[in-house]
């Protein structure tokens, strides 16, 4: 039987790799995107060509009304069993001294508020006391939460620190509801997020200095997410799993 999984920010990068792996393992996948409809549609077509099931769902996770609409659209897929809270942004490297209020607002709106709203709606769907069937939630944090990301983006690092705390707290709130909550904390992964922050070569350049000597691939993060979603991780909740090449 297919189980339903919603992935925010699935049109590219880590979200996209997770959607492909999940579909290959039998999940029905909700592919949330923000602006790149063509990429989301192409991913859905690729999943369908593999014999899987997927639907593209537009929503800006920073807007509560859009998050509510996203989950309502997902309800048509049947009971939700999995959620990957993945949508996230970076910004150009700056010390805090030079960050504008508008930048900080946007960073926390998408990465913190968006993640909290998404996690809340997922919890409302999966909690057994509310009629859900239980499930698993994976938040995509970052090792930046431990490193602090000085002179680059302490705002982003702080936002991801909030996700680590949410993971710990929500795991405790939902343990009795049949819902596991975990986080992956990727390091330098080769995706387009670095170009969006004005540093297209960042993962390759800095990846060389990690213990494993290279940047990671989105598929390597997806493997850990899929394990956490799966019943094989049945005794794992509240965990922060670093996928960072030892960084």
- Residue placing its CB nearer to ligand NAP in the complex, 127 or 226: 226
Output the smallest distance, CB 133 to ligand NAP, in A. Answer: 26
> What is the dihedral sign for C-alpha 36, 167, 178, 219?
positive
- Residue placing its CB nearer to ligand NAP in the complex, 32 or 182: 32
- Residue placing its CB nearer to ligand NAP in the complex, 92 or 131: 92
Is 156 one of the annotated active-site residues of the chain? Answer: yes
- Interacting residues toward ligand NAP by CB under 6 A: 8-15, 32-36, 60-62, 86-89, 110, 114, 140, 142, 186, 188-189, 191-193, 196, 203
Output the smallest distance, CB 31 to ligand NAP, in A. Answer: 9
- Residue placing its CB nearer to ligand NAP in the complex, 88 or 161: 88
Output the smallest distance, CB 199 to ligand NAP, in A. Answer: 11
Output the smallest distance, CB 32 to ligand NAP, in A. Answer: 6
What positions carry a catalytic annotation?
A: 156
């Amino acid at each position: 039987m297919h189980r339903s999984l919603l992935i925010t920010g699935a049109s590219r990068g880590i979200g996209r790799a997770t959607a492909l792996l999940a579909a290959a393992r039998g999940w029905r996948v909700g592919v949330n995107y923000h602006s790149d409809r063509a990429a989301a549609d192409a991913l859905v077509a690729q999943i369908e060509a593999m014999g899987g099931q997927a639907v593209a769902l537009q929503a800006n996770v920073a807007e509560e009304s859009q998050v509510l609409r996203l989950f309502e659209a997902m309800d048509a897929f049947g009971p939700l069993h999995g959620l990957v809270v993945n949508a996230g942004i970076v910004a150009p490297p700056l010390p805090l001294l030079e960050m504008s209020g508008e930048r900080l607002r946007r960073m926390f709106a998408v990465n913190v508020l968006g993640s909290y709203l998404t996690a809340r709606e997922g919890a409302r769907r999966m909690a057994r006391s509310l009629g859900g069937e239980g499930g698993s939630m994976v938040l995509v944090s970052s090792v930046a939460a431990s490193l602090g990301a000085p002179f680059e983006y302490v705002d982003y690092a702080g936002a991801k620190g909030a996700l680590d705390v949410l993971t710990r707290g929500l795991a405790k709130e939902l343990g009795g509801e049949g819902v596991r909550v975990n986080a992956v904390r990727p390091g330098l992964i080769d995706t387009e997020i670095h170009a969006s922050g004005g540093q297209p070569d960042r993962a390759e350049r800095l990846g060389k200095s990690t213990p494993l000597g290279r940047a990671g691939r989105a598929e390597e993060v997806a493997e850990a997410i899929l394990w956490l979603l799966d019943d094989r991780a049945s005794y794992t909740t509240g965990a922060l799993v670093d996928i960072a090449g030892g960084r």
